């Protein structure tokens, strides 16, 4: 993946200008311009990913499914979804199926961003041609409705404590837990999804999903909150490298 | 900050919630007159004491019912609306009126 200009692709993050100003270098993943690294050197970004790092994953595939029969339909498609709401269930390909409510799933891709599962579900879902239609739920477009950030590193819970009322410390907010709450005065979905490093260490990581129209605002708030802990933006490669 | 317990999401800051009016029994929409219907929609009893109210957890758009003492502003309990409204209501079209 060579470095590209984000404007050369139609799909790019809403905050690509902010990221470019911070030194982001972009590459193409699945047709979108993804910030791969920030030019500070691999070791610097890896260290940040362990301490406190922000990454913009908004371009990676994510989608929703909702309505009566949703979970049954997704299960028939091979997904593994447990009974509890506000819990994220990891899939075979590393995707996360976040159960926001009994009949609502927010599906985010693995950091490889191939979109394989999401693409397959997109082609498999069809509205029955005639009534009575089976209760199978329906897809909800999330790709362009939600910005998707990752906050990684051991200082992430302390940073969140400044902008979010829910206790996200690791002994209180279990792996896979979801909080749908207010973050920096915005509604946001927070999912704890720790990363198993190749050195055997578990690295704290949280997904943050929020209204994409306010992505610049939320990114600025996160960067501001992270500054106290020397947090910095990292590219996707640093997050992937941690666990390869 | 005051804490409210959302039946879906658990205890949260009160700033995450909005009030949605009192829970009142719905008059039969097929037979009710306009004045009563408007009163049901728009007028609140505003009682002093324990009332049942609609509340919404904004980050999830989850509507539920809370019992609250309006004198002391204590929230006594909260529960999903499905605990109360557990049967489907069919809205038959109202017979056309000749004007």
Give how far Cα A192 sits from Cα of A17, A201, A228, A230, B96, Å: 27, 16, 22, 21, 55
Q: Say if residue B97's pLDDT is above 80.
A: no
Among B12, B15, B59, the residue with its CB nearest the CB of A188 is: B59
Q: Say if residue B94's pLDDT is above 80.
A: no
Say yes or no for a CB contact (<8 Å) between A86 and B9.
yes
CB-defined contacts A:B, below 8 A: 31
Sequence ranges of chain A with CATH classification 3.30.70:
63-140
Residue of A66, A101, A146, A165 to mutate, testing the B interface (most B Cβ within 10 Å of its Cβ): A165
**pLDDT tens, N- to C-terminus, chain A (244 residues):** 568 899 999 999 999 999 999 999 999 999 999 999 998 888 999 999 999 999 999 999 999 999 999 999 999 999 999 999 999 999 999 999 999 999 999 999 999 999 999 999 999 999 888 888 888 999 999 999 999 999 999 999 999 999 999 999 999 999 999 999 999 999 999 999 998 877 788 889 999 999 999 999 999 999 999 999 999 999 999 988 876 6
Residue of A161, A181, A187 to mutate, testing the B interface (most B Cβ within 10 Å of its Cβ): A181
Q: Say if residue B99's pLDDT is above 70.
A: no
CATH code assigned to A63-140: 3.30.70
pLDDT of res. A241: 82
Which residues of A have a CB under 8 Å from any CB of B? 85-86, 100-101, 165-166, 179-182, 187-189
pLDDT tens digit string along B6-41? Answer: 999 999 999 999 999 999 999 998 899 999 999 999
A170 backbone φψ class: left, alpha, beta (φ>0; ψ -120 to 50): alpha
What the block records as the tokens of A231 is 């947090």
pLDDT tens digit string along B45-65? Answer: 999 999 999 999 999 999 999
Whole-number percent of chain B with pLDDT over 90? 75
B-chain CB neighbours of A146 within 8 Å are: none
Tally of CA atoms within 13 A in the half-sphere of A232 that contains its CB = 19
Residue B36 makes CB contacts below 8 A (sequence gap 6+) with B27
Say yes or no for a CB contact (<8 Å) between A181 and B12.
yes
Sequence ranges of chain A with CATH classification 3.30.1360.120:
6-60+144-242
Please calculate the CA angle B15-B16-B21 and round it to the nearest 5 degrees: 90
pLDDT of res. B11: 94
A-chain CB neighbours of B13 within 8 Å are: 165, 182
Pick the CATH number of A6-60+144-242 from 3.40.50.10800, 1.20.1250.20, 3.30.1360.120, 3.50.50.60: 3.30.1360.120
User: Could you give all domains of chain B from N- to C-terminal order, each with its CATH number?
Assistant: 3-83 (3.30.2270.10)
Say yes or no for a CB contact (<8 Å) between B13 and A86.
no
ipTM for the whole complex = 0.79
A-chain CB neighbours of B16 within 8 Å are: 165, 181-182
């Amino acid at each position: 993946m060579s470095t590209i200009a984000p404007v050369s692709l139609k799909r790019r993050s809403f905050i690509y200008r902010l990221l470019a100003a911070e030194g982001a270098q972009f590459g193409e993943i699945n047709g979108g311009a993804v910030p791969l690294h920030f030019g500070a050197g691999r070791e610097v970004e890896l260290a940040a990913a362990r301490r406190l790092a922000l990454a913009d994953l908004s371009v990676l595939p994510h989608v929703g499914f909702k309505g009566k029969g949703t979970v049954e339909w997704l299960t028939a498609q091979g997904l593994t979804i447990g009974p509890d709401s506000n819990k994220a269930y990891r899939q075979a390909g590393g995707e996360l199926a976040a159960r926001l409510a009994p009949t609502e799933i927010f599906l985010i891709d693995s950091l490889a961003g191939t979109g394989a599962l999401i693409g397959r579900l997109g082609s498999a879902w069809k509205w029955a041609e005639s009534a009575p239609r089976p209760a199978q739920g329906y897809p909800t477009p999330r790709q362009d409705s939600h910005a998707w950030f990752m906050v990684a590193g051991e200082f992430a819970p302390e940073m969140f404590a400044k902008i979010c009322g829910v206790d996200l410390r690791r002994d209180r907010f279990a792996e896979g837990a979801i909080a749908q709450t207010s973050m920096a005065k915005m509604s946001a979905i927070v999912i704890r999804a720790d990363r198993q490093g190749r050195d055997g260490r578990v690295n704290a990581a949280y997904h943050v999903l929020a209204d994409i129209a306010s992505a610049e605002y939320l990114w600025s708030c996160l960067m501001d909150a992270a500054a106290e802990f020397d947090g910095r933006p990292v590219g996707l490669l640093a997050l992937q490298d941690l666990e390869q | 900050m005051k804490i409210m317990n959302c039946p879906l999401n658990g205890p949260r800051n009160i700033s995450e919630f909005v009030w949605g009016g009192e829970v009142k029994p719905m008059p039969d929409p097929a037979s009710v007159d306009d004045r009563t219907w408007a009163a049901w929609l728009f007028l609140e009893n505003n009682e002093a004491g324990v009332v049942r109210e609609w509340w919404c957890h904004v980050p999830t758009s989850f509507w539920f019912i809370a019992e609250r003492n309006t004198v002391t502003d204590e929230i006594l309990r909260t529960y999903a609306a499905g605990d109360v409204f557990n049967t489907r209501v069919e809205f038959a079209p109202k017979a056309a009126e000749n004007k």
